[in-house]
Amino acid sequence: MATLFGSGIKRREDPRLITGSATYTDDVKLPGLVYAMFVRSPYAHARVGAINLEAARQSPGVLAIYTGRDVKDRMAPVPCAWNVPNCDLKVPPHPLLAVDRVRYAGDAVAMVVAETRAQARDAVDLVEVDYDPLPATVDPEKATQPGAAQLHDEVPGNLAFTWTVSGGDAEAAFASAEVKVSQRIVQQRLLPTAMEPRAAVASYNRGSGQLTLWVTSQNPHIHRFLCSVMLQIPEHRVRVIAPEVGGGFGSKIPAYPDEALCCFAAMQLGRPVKWTEDRSENYKVTIHGRDHVEYVELCGTRDGRITGLRTRVYAGLGGYASTAGPGIPTILHGLVYSGAYTIPNIHGVVRGVYTNGAPVDAYRGAGRPEAAYLVERLVDIFARQIGMDPVEVRRRNFIPKDKFPYTVATGVTYDSGNYEAALDKALGILDYKAFRAEQAKARKAGRHLGVGVVSYIEICGLGPSQVAGAVGFGGGLYDSAIVRVYPTGMVRVYIGASPHGQGEETTFAQIVADEFGYPVENVEIIHGDTETTPQGWGTYGSRTTAVCGSAVKTAAVKVKEKARKLAAHLLEANEADLEWKDGKFMVRGSPEKAKGFAELALMANVAWNMPPGMEPGLEASAFFDPSNFVYPFGTHVCTVDVDVETGQVKILRYIAVDDCGPPINPMIVDGQVHGGVVQGIGEGLQEIAVYDDEGQLLTGTMMDYAVPKASQVPSIETAHTITPSPVNPLGVKGVGEAGTIGSAACLVNAVCDALSDYGIVHIDKPLTPARVWAAIQRAKGAAA
């Protein structure tokens, strides 16, 4: 029987998505539904004076208006849930509605609830707020300098934390190094841009004291917990449902004030309350990503050995510490400074900085693309300095494949890897040698072709829970599943994680169907409702398959074990004499004596003839807490043609060789890589969130914020190597972020390679034509 694991069957979630029959939060309609809208500060930094609600209250349909003073004693502030230890983290209170000061443009000062959305919108315009504008600070490096505007009285110099990571002796390595290179790197702010903006519908039953929140969530159980904290009601009285979620990319992990306030209003008014963000609100107030200013140094020998890496990073946090904000530029960033290499001496210092921008949190890759970018850029700059092919430098420094598990200087232990294999495969697909020859020929003809190579690693599959606790994450990082077999033999699998586009309704069904010898149609995956699903910690950090998928596998194996015992009993055979063949338990040597899964399901559920002591029913639950993270890797290679007259970058080929262990569904894996690479192309070439000096977001619409269009994306050539992980029963690693980790670096490496004869070693992304052209002009000026 062909196994489903490894087969690229079509995604089962797609028919409802592409026929418009899926239910998103904004589709939820309840009797008596009313609508919320927020009064948001036009200033990035201002004192809030009197708020005049008179006219708004008189406006048709208005039911209630709440200000910061109305809620501050009745709700807890928005929690930060990642209290990274040993870095003197300062987390000032994040009020649900600003009381006396706003700290970024869009910070809400009041919430209006009205009978219709239009009435709420009209009333928002009638709220009069006295603002006393203050100077703003938006650049994370400048915000730490004397004279910069101060956001929080209790955070001098806007310095939220200073976190260090160290291994070996970087100072000694640099002091004695033959070669040193350094680069200031800016990793721009990005806007996650999920297709569906955030939305919430809150409904409160006064009789039962039960609150139900439909919300755009990547992690309903976390939202249930954080909601109960903010509302100060017991967790079991809160039910969180994530219906269809139109993409998250990290932006639907955090707890935001808006959704909690909908709950508050529903409890106050006794009517269900809906709020749906519009796109400009989404760009202004939903979390942003990246925002680093980095000073990076790398040292080594003339023959290409890297001996040390040092970083000094300013990481913007925005106006408040978001739910996972402090953990992203520290734990998820600094711990992977070694990349794919045996860098023996590492010292990194990351300063988290409050600025007058929207809070910064997880955006696809979250900390790891920033790490891969700085390492992979510096490797290229080092190669240029010593006159060696960047591919050769990578080879000379890779962690050898027989050295895993391998503990890098930052202290984390990589589970498994074979970096050279991925590199060889990617270079083979391109025919690297032939491209270099073509490049040289083109250069003579005045064309600037370039090739970028990136060998990335990432840390994902987040658990284990013990480590989560040790690094200050305010939750566990295990996951769970219940596999329930109905009397008819159909299977439902209830999972703790909450996929929202990644495809686990298909891949997890493949795991279970394989275990039971079933067609995939017999298995249904249920997720996204805290009332029906077991405790889980969400879908992010490319953890769902490695962690929750392992819980699914474990629960399915438990069910099958019970079925085997029952089969032995019914066949009057010894369990040891049974074999699992062609989807049946058979008595070895007597194939006519066999029981298939569907029949065993019926017998277990009717319980007419159970073995002594066996409980009726056929279901099992499992919690899986991994023993380590997983470390996927890969090599991406791209070739570009840079028009030096206009600065326009044309991608010629993009080759992605990724290793996420054995792919459950290769088509879905490729789809994930495609999506990730496209986001990396956006980051590398055109996306940037720009604030002016007063903290106004200048890229607040999709006309200004340049998400790549289909026509700007080349055909992405994917391939894989397969290196199983030893830390979970499936051997899998994450792939949901893989495409994003190295792709921006790959593009910038390619463009800098194309412009090497101008002496250009680095241009800060995004490499818009204007930036590339300006860099060429500067280089020409310097040479003249």
Provide the minimum distance between the beta carbon of 201 and ligand MCN in the complex, in angstroms, as a whole number: 20
- Partners of 210 in the β-ladder: 205
Residue nearer to ligand MCN on the CB measure, 148 or 511: 511
Nearest distance in Å: CB 282, ligand MCN: 14
Q: Do 196 and 247 contact (CB within 8 A), yes or no?
A: yes
Q: Smaller CB distance to ligand MCN: residue 315 or 630?
A: 630
The side-by-side arrangement of strands in the sheet containing 179-190 is: 159-167, 345-354, 306-318, 289-300, 179-190
Provide the residue type at 680 as one letter. Answer: G
Q: How far is the CB of 540 from ligand MCN (least distance, A)?
A: 5
Can you count the helices (H) and strands (E) in the chain? 20, 28
Least separation in angstroms between CB 46 and ligand MCN: 33
Nearer Cβ to ligand MCN, position 507 or 635? 507
Residue 736 Cβ vs ligand MCN, minimum distance, rounded to whole Å: 2
Residue 252 CB, shortest distance to ligand MCN, in Å, is 8
Q: How far is the CB of 462 from ligand MCN (least distance, A)?
A: 9
Nearer to ligand MCN, 67 or 665 (CB): 665
Residue (of 752, 745, 746, 743) closest to 771 by Cα position: 752
Check: CB of residue 75 under 8 Å from CB of residue 260. yes
Question: Which distant-in-sequence residues (6+ apart) come within 8 Å of 273 by Cβ?
Answer: 33, 34, 35, 36, 113, 200, 201, 202, 203, 262, 263, 265, 266
Q: Which is nearer to ligand MCN, 68 or 739 (CB)?
A: 739
Q: How far apart (Å, rounded) are the C-alpha atoms in residues 403 and 456?
A: 17
- 3-state class (DSSP) for residue 758: helix
Contact predicate 298/122, CB 8 Å: no
- Residues near ligand MCN, by CB under 6 A: 247-250, 364, 499-504, 507, 539-545, 660-665, 668-669, 672, 675, 732, 734-737
Output the smallest distance, CB 166 to ligand MCN, in A. Answer: 28
Nearer CB in complex with ligand MCN: 543/593: 543
Check: CB of residue 390 under 8 Å from CB of residue 635.
no
Nearest approach in angstroms of CB 630 to ligand MCN is 9
Neighbours of 115 (CB within 10 A): 16
Least spacing, CB of residue 377 vs ligand MCN, in Å: 22
Q: Closer CB to ligand MCN, residue 144 or residue 193?
A: 193
Q: Which is nearer to ligand MCN, 459 or 594 (CB)?
A: 459
SS3 track for 107-151 = CEEEEEEECCHHHHHHHHHHCEEEEEECCCCCCCCHHHCCCCCCC
Q: Nearer Cβ to ligand MCN, position 285 or 668?
A: 668
Pick between residue 397 and residue 542 the one whose CB is nearest to ligand MCN: 542
DSSP symbol at 235: G
Residue 224 or 543: the one with the smaller Cβ distance to ligand MCN is: 543
Q: How far apart are CA 276 and CA 258, in angstroms?
A: 10
> Per the structure block, which two tokens stand in for 754?
């194309």
Question: Where does residue 728 rank: exposed (0-12), middle (13-18), buried (19+ CB within 10 A)?
Answer: buried
Least Å from the CB of residue 755 to ligand MCN? 32
Burial of 281 (0-12, 13-18, 19+ CB in 10 A): buried
As given in the structure block, the two tokens for residue 708 are 């790549």
Contacts of 68 (CB under 8 A, 6+ apart): 48, 95, 96, 97, 98, 99, 100, 109, 110
DSSP output for 514-565? HHHT--GGGEEEE-SBTTTS-----S-TT-IIIIIHHHHHHHHHHHHHHHHH
Distance in Å, CB of 667 to ligand MCN, minimum: 9
- Residue whose CB is less far from ligand MCN, 79 or 250: 250
